[in-house]
Structure 1
Amino acid sequence: MRQPNLSDVALFAAVVEAGGFRAAAQTRGMSASSLSDCVRRLEGDLGLRLLNRTTRSVTPTTAGERLLERLRPALEEIHAAFNDLDDESQRPVGTLKLNVPVPVARFVLPDLLSRFLKLYPAVNVEVVMDNTFIDVIAAGYDAGVRYEESLAKDMIAIPIGPRRQRFVAAAAPAYLDAHGTPRHPGELTGHQLLGHRFESGKLGVFEFEKDGRTLRVPPQGQLATSSHDLKTSAAINGLGIIYTFEDFLREPLADGRLTPILEDWWQSFDGPFLYYHGRRHMPSPLRAFVDFLKAEGREPA
């Protein structure tokens, strides 16, 4: 086997990604016949057929698929390295892929991304909302946003959003008139508690804190859901007591549709962190976003 030409390797990957020689040739600025010659030369160097060619389609062979699977991470690193050249001219280019929890997508990112994207018009951002604890890097994201207790130790973490947050407990005035107002978490027994069902199937527990003491109350009630909106609406409609992120309840608490309860037991916690792999090459859009957060006055964790 002769040592293959790296340019031919990249062109082979381009043909597979584009789904054919003609489409790949257009993006590469060369003729389809020249592109075909390069792939044939690569096949000759390797002594393997990499593509199945018909008049209607071009698809990788089993050997081609295996090769492309091994090549893709290296080609992405090369692409990212060229993207980084734009950093030197202050023009990051490319797509930033983020995996974030629902509260962060709703209450933290809108203002931040609005200002960030205006600063970097050549950057695109893709945001997927996900509350589960997944390996976001292995899943193909550039970075994730999570809370401190779920951060992997080998990640670099940058504070993003408010540095302190809290859960608040509340219920509709009509519910409290009918069932009474609990003054202590121990009095929640017998109340309708609106539960949060995680994507994993686990039911969240109401966790209260005061003077270093923690009380955990498993929710029991007619409704459990993964939807914050549904749970909030249920509380407003008098179906039970809700305990969730303060941001979800700001408006109904402010206009009186919900009444706060157990205020001296509300649990507070550190705000979210943007995290990414410190040993990976950093794409220019991610580097720009990290620098943007630091410029906001936040320090690395």
Structure 2
Amino acid sequence: MVEPDLADLKAFVSVAAARGFRNAASRGGVSASSLSEAIRRLEQQLGVRLLNRTTRSVTPTEAGQRLFERLAPAFGEISTALDAINLFRDSPTGTLRLNVPSIAAREILPALLSRFLAGHPGITVEVTSNDTFIDILAAGFDAGIRYDERLERDMIAVPIGPPMQRMIAAASPAYLQQHGEPRHPDELVWHACIGHRFESGVLAVWEFTRGDDTVRIVPNGPIVASVIDIQLRAAVDGLGIVYSFDEFLRPALDDGTLVPILRDWWQSFTGPRLYYASREHMPAPLRAFVDFVLRDNRSRDAG
């Protein structure tokens, strides 16, 4: 039997772990066709089918599962061993993959990553924006950013970005002149409210808090969007009331195109967290980023 190529074995592990050629190709920065060819070549050399392929899924056969269970830890050890060499470099190299919500992608990461990468020229950062909670490890990410209520218990989490944030409501002067200004969240049921729908399909509920009172409103209006730019433009054009992060609406509030409403009911909450799995050997790019975030937090607190 011809000795299988290590690259083909690694291709098999990546496809089996990702449960698909397309996902494995995306994670590895290669083409799906090259992975398919590697698996075909490996199966031919071993004389056994390793993967069951359908139009919807790719799953290991019994033989493939046994091979995967032996190879995956071995390749993990190789990766860890090679990554340890990064500790002896002036600047680590490698790719850091982050999954973050849209608020972090727009308002927190741009300036932070620019400063981080300026000091770590050997690192490449891949950022994917996603407003739903996912299993970051299963999806091939090194770390994610989410809020406290969305974090799993077995994850390590450190603050990143503003220590506190808030959700606010606003409308255009023209809208308020025509429809009046609500004085209590309950009155929003009589107003056009611009909704936000998450990628999961769930419509975001508006939550207002004052003292011990909490009011939740299901928005009902002329437009529902998952993109804040659409919501913001609709509000500025007088189509209804918008409810979102202060950071998203602040420019429009500052220039007067939107007017704040229900100030006494704005809800504040703890800022986002960078989270990652607890593991003994952390990839060098992730370790460098975590250390950078911790230093940035200390510098901000000292200032």
* Cα shift at 1:273: 0.5
Give runs of aligned pairs for residues 20-35 of structure 1, distance below 5 A. none
Residue type matched to 1:291 in 2? D
Query: Structure 2 vs 1, CA of residues 90 and 51 (structure 1 numbering), >3 Å: closer, same or farther?
Result: farther
2:250 and 2:77 map into 1 onto residues whose CA distance is 44
Look up the match of 2:87. Answer: 87
Query: Structure 2 vs 1, CA of residues 12 and 200 (structure 1 numbering), >3 Å: closer, same or farther?
Result: closer
1:13 to 9, 12, 29: 9
* TM-score (norm. length: structure 1): 0.78
Look up the match of 1:35. Answer: none
Query: Structure 2 vs 1, CA of residues 255 and 105 (structure 1 numbering), >3 Å: closer, same or farther?
Result: same
CA deviation string 1:74-108 (max 9, x = no partner): 41442133122212334211000000001100000
Q: Give the number of equivalent residue pairs.
A: 259
Structure 1: where are the runs of 5+ without partners? 18-38, 53-60
Look up the match of 1:245. Answer: 245
Residue type matched to 2:247 in 1? D
| Structure number with larger C-alpha Rg | 1
1:157 and 1:15 map into 2 onto residues whose CA distance is 32
Look up the match of 2:198. Answer: 198
1:288 and 1:80 map into 2 onto residues whose CA distance is 15
Give runs of aligned pairs for residues 170-249 of structure 1, distance below 5 A. 170-249=170-249
CA deviation string 1:154-177 (max 9, x = no partner): 000011000100011000000000
Q: Report % sequence identity.
A: 50
Query: Structure 2 vs 1, CA of residues 216 and 297 (structure 1 numbering), >3 Å: closer, same or farther?
Result: same
Look up the match of 1:131. Answer: 131
Residue type matched to 1:124 in 2? T
* Cα shift at 1:112: 0.6
2:73 and 2:130 map into 1 onto residues whose CA distance is 24
Look up the match of 2:168. Answer: 168
1:173 and 1:111 map into 2 onto residues whose CA distance is 32
Look up the match of 1:107. Answer: 107
Task: Answer with 233-242 or 280-289: which moved more.
Answer: 280-289
2:138 and 2:178 map into 1 onto residues whose CA distance is 50
CA deviation string 1:175-220 (max 9, x = no partner): 0000001111122121001111111111111100111221111111
Look up the match of 1:145. Answer: 145
The root-mean-square deviation of aligned C-alpha atoms, in Å, is 2.7
1:285 and 1:166 map into 2 onto residues whose CA distance is 31
Conservation of the 8 A alpha-carbon contact between 2:170 and 2:260:
yes
Residue type matched to 1:13 in 2? L
Conservation of the 8 A alpha-carbon contact between 1:10 and 1:75:
no
2:104 and 2:246 map into 1 onto residues whose CA distance is 12
Structure 2: where are the runs of 5+ without partners? 14-40, 51-59
1:140 and 1:280 map into 2 onto residues whose CA distance is 18
* Cα shift at 1:225: 1.1
2:196 and 2:8 map into 1 onto residues whose CA distance is 48
SS in structure 2 of the partner of residue 189 of structure 1: helix
SS in structure 2 of the partner of residue 296 of structure 1: helix
SS in structure 1 of the partner of residue 249 of structure 2: helix
Conservation of the 8 A alpha-carbon contact between 2:174 and 2:238:
yes
Conservation of the 8 A alpha-carbon contact between 1:197 and 1:226:
yes
